[in-house]
């Protein structure tokens, strides 16, 4: 493995990083993770094995294969981020990231997050994807070889699978209510519809949101997505909520400084104690467009899973989702399959 590609960072989390419950905001942790992933990928692409020695490139986030929130992080903790490349295909490098929290008073440490991100190489001057094969990872230890094989399995599976997220939805045509989906507990709260919890967020991207070349950092977009998803989940549950994991998050286009991002979030699945929020991002370019009418371009989509917390910060029952259209029924069934897959994955561990 290229020794100089890995990254370790540490920073104290401050009150500015808190969510309403007083813990560190999930979106803040997402930004930490993506920043580390970006640095590792960019280092890797510009390493000694680079295909074109005189061309400078940077890593652009393409997809998140896995993002788990395993434990809360608290204000005053020391956040430690460890990132390293673990797999390469012809065009992408996979970066594995772990986040640990250290209590500076007791010196206790615990892992709070793990993630696997995929990056593509982009030309620093043209901001276009590099054509040709990227440097390939060399595995020197049995652990590195195992991680590489796991990455190869994910890459092969992703290529063969159809997307877990349906294409951008057309405006829904409500039909006769199909009713609440069954939940695992008879004491669950009364059901709610998708329409009761839809959230929209609009924000202009500023220089402070960007990497080089006025390209907005993927972590900035993910934090905004987490904000919208969190509001959506809180509206649906009527309680404090926390992010549990992120699934199938894909970046299809870059966002630039000055773009206006439109983020929409809606519930698509509920189990007894968790719910999936589908989040979609579109970018609208206000400057440099030929026509008077601007257009929105889809850039990012993902599924955020939340749990509802009671007054003692313990998971509690979630209202069942009432589906009102065939589209909502289809999204719920896809969510059910994701939920079962996550359960099976936890069982295997």
In the block, which residue shows the tokens 């951008």?
Answer: 168
Catalytic residue (choose from 17, 46, 209, 226): 226
In the block, which residue shows the tokens 């956040």?
Answer: 79
Contact between residue 56 and residue 42 where contact means Cβ atoms under 8 Å apart: no
The DSSP secondary structure of 278-341, one letter per residue, reads: EEEEEEE--SS-SSSS--EEEEEEEEEEEEEE-TTS-B---PPEEE-SHHHHHHHHHHHHHHHH
Contact between residue 60 and residue 127 where contact means Cβ atoms under 8 Å apart: no
Contact between residue 188 and residue 214 where contact means Cβ atoms under 8 Å apart: no
Catalytic residue (choose from 17, 19, 240, 259): 19
Is 19 annotated in the active site?
yes
For residue 195, the surrounding DSSP H or E stretch is none
**In the chain, what is the straight-line distance between the N-terminal and C-terminal CA atoms, in Å?**
26
Residue 40, classed as helix, strand or coil, is helix
Instruction: Output the six-digit token pair for 206.
Output: 């500023």
Give the side-chain half-sphere CA count within 13 A for 216.
Answer: 26
Residues serving a catalytic function are 19, 226
């Amino acid at each position: 493995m290229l020794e100089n590609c890995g990254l370790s960072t540490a920073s104290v989390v401050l009150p500015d990083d808190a969510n309403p419950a007083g813990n560190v905001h999930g979106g803040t942790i997402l930004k930490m993770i993506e920043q580390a992933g970006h640095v590792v990928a960019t280092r890797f692409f510009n390493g000694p094995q680079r295909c074109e020695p005189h061309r400078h490139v940077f890593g652009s986030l393409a997809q998140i294969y896995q993002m788990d929130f395993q434990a809360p992080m608290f204000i005053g903790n020391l956040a430690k981020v460890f990132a390293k490349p673990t797999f390469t295909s012809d065009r992408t490098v996979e970066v594995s990231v772990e986040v640990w929290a250290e209590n500076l008073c007791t010196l206790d440490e615990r892992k709070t997050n793990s993630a696997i991100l995929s990056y593509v190489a982009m030309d620093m001057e043209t901001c276009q994807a590099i054509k040709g094969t990227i440097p390939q990872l060399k595995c020197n230890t049995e652990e590195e070889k195992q991680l590489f094989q796991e990455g190869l399995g994910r890459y092969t599976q992703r290529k063969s699978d159809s997307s877990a997220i349906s294409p951008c939805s057309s405006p829904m045509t409500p039909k006769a209510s199909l009713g609440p989906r069954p939940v695992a507990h008879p004491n669950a709260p009364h059901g709610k519809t998708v329409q009761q919890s839809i959230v929209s967020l609009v924000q202009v991207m500023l220089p402070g949101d960007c990497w080089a070349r006025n390209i907005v950092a993927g972590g900035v977009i993910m934090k905004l997505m987490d904000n919208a998803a969190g509001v959506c989940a809180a509206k649906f549950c009527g309680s404090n909520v926390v992010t549990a994991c992120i699934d199938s998050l894909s970046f299809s286009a870059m966002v630039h400084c000055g773009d206006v991002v439109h983020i929409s979030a809606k519930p698509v699945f509920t189990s007894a104690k968790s719910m999936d929020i589908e989040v979609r991002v579109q970018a609208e370019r206000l400057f440099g467009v030929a026509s008077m009418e601007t257009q929105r371009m889809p850039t990012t989509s993902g599924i955020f899973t939340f749990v509802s917390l009671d007054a003692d910060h313990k998971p509690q029952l979630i209202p069942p989702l009432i589906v009102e259209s065939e589209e909502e029924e289809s999204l719920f069934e896809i969510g059910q399959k994701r939920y079962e897959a996550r359960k099976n994955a936890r069982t295997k561990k």
